[in-house]
């Protein structure tokens, strides 16, 4: 489990997160939602070990700040929002960096073909020989996802559940690949790993997440199942515009239409 309690992060003199309690369990996709500037990305960065923090963050029970980079890398992989490369690496060379730490969990002879398998998984089979810089933004994002998947290919290793931390994983993807990425996240959770994903699309959250944490002004203002947080009052308050949650007739998945917003 990834657990944060009374988490406080300041950048310069500005308090970005104040007293956030957060938990992401193995076997679940935990979505982080909230308006721009609410602290979602800062939360992911803190959970990734990128920022000094107050309070505590534990990864499978161990305090994050006491872990060496290699120890943390064996337990979690982080998908950045966007990554530009300074040198002309091929797609395969980028994906292969995921195996760097040697904790993919596959056997050595399988590791050879892991980049190809990961690329096929993100619908980029045949892209291995292309230059990363020549790809579109959405393709680059999926290459990065393939790299991240290689790092923690087996969701559970040596009895320890492992985690994917995804910062806006679908931000530059078309709808087919948005759904593909969310299916990959779901599969990772179903095999025993944990997923934390910052999402902007509330409907995607409602359809794919097991739990959601709602952020506003650097605090976690609500947490629960998607149905728990998809409430008119809560969403209207958090996003500062009047929204009405609906439910599709044939199912229980709640949705919200942007057209319902009132001026």
Contact footprint for other proteins (CB under 8 A): 45, 48-50, 52, 68-74, 76-78, 80, 83-94, 96-98, 100-101, 103, 112-113, 115-116, 126, 128-131, 133-134, 151
**212 CB-near residues (< 8 Å, 6+ apart):** 30, 31, 32, 33, 205, 223, 224, 225, 226, 228, 229
**35 CB-near residues (< 8 Å, 6+ apart):** 216, 238, 239, 240
In angstroms, the CA 250 to CA 91 distance is: 42
Please state whether 254 falls in left (phi above 0), alpha (psi between -120 and 50) or beta.
Answer: beta
- State the minimum distance, in angstroms, from the CB of residue 50 to other proteins: 5
Shorter beta-carbon distance to other proteins: residue 6 or 131: 131
Asked if 16 and 42 count as a contact pair (C-beta separation under 8 A), the reply is yes
- State the minimum distance, in angstroms, from the CB of residue 114 to other proteins: 11
- State the minimum distance, in angstroms, from the CB of residue 83 to other proteins: 6
Asked if 1 and 46 count as a contact pair (C-beta separation under 8 A), the reply is no
Shorter beta-carbon distance to other proteins: residue 90 or 217: 90
Shorter beta-carbon distance to other proteins: residue 70 or 247: 70
Shorter beta-carbon distance to other proteins: residue 131 or 183: 131
Shorter beta-carbon distance to other proteins: residue 109 or 176: 109
Place of tokens 């990363």: 132
Helix (H) or strand (E) holding 226: helix 226-229
In angstroms, the CA 45 to CA 49 distance is: 6
Phi and psi of 96, rounded to 5°?
A: -60, -25
Asked if 88 and 133 count as a contact pair (C-beta separation under 8 A), the reply is yes
- State the minimum distance, in angstroms, from the CB of residue 47 to other proteins: 11
- State the minimum distance, in angstroms, from the CB of residue 70 to other proteins: 4
- State the minimum distance, in angstroms, from the CB of residue 147 to other proteins: 8
Shorter beta-carbon distance to other proteins: residue 70 or 187: 70
Shorter beta-carbon distance to other proteins: residue 50 or 191: 50
- State the minimum distance, in angstroms, from the CB of residue 102 to other proteins: 9
Please state whether 196 falls in left (phi above 0), alpha (psi between -120 and 50) or beta.
Answer: beta
* CA distance from start to end of the chain: 41
């Amino acid at each position: 489990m990834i657990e944060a309690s009374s988490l406080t992060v300041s950048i310069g003199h500005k308090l970005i997160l104040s007293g956030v309690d957060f938990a992401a369990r193995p076997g679940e996709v935990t979505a982080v939602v909230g308006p721009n500037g609410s602290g979602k990305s800062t939360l992911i960065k803190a959970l990734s070990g990128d920022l000094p923090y107050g309070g505590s963050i534990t990864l499978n029970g161990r305090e994050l700040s006491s872990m060496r980079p290699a120890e943390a890398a064996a337990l979690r992989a982080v998908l950045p929002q966007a990554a530009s490369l300074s040198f002309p690496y091929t797609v395969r060379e980028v994906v292969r960096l995921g195996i760097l730490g040697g904790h993919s969990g596959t056997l050595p002879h399988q590791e050879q073909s892991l980049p190809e398998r990961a690329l096929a998984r993100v619908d980029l089979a045949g892209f291995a020989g292309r230059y990363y810089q020549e790809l579109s933004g959405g393709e680059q994002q999926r290459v990065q996802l393939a790299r991240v998947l290689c790092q923690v290919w087996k969701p559970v290793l040596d009895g320890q559940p492992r985690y994917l931390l995804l910062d806006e994983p679908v931000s530059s993807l078309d709808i087919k690949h948005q759904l593909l990425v969310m299916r990959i996240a779901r599969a990772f959770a179903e095999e025993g790993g944990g997923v934390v994903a910052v999402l902007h699309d509330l409907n995607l959250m409602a359809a794919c997440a097991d739990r959601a944490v709602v952020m506003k002004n650097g605090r976690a203002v609500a947490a629960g199942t998607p149905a728990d947080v998809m409430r008119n009052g809560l969403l209207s308050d958090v996003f500062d515009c009047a929204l009405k949650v609906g439910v599709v007739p044939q199912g229980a998945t709640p949705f919200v239409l942007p057209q319902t917003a009132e001026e």
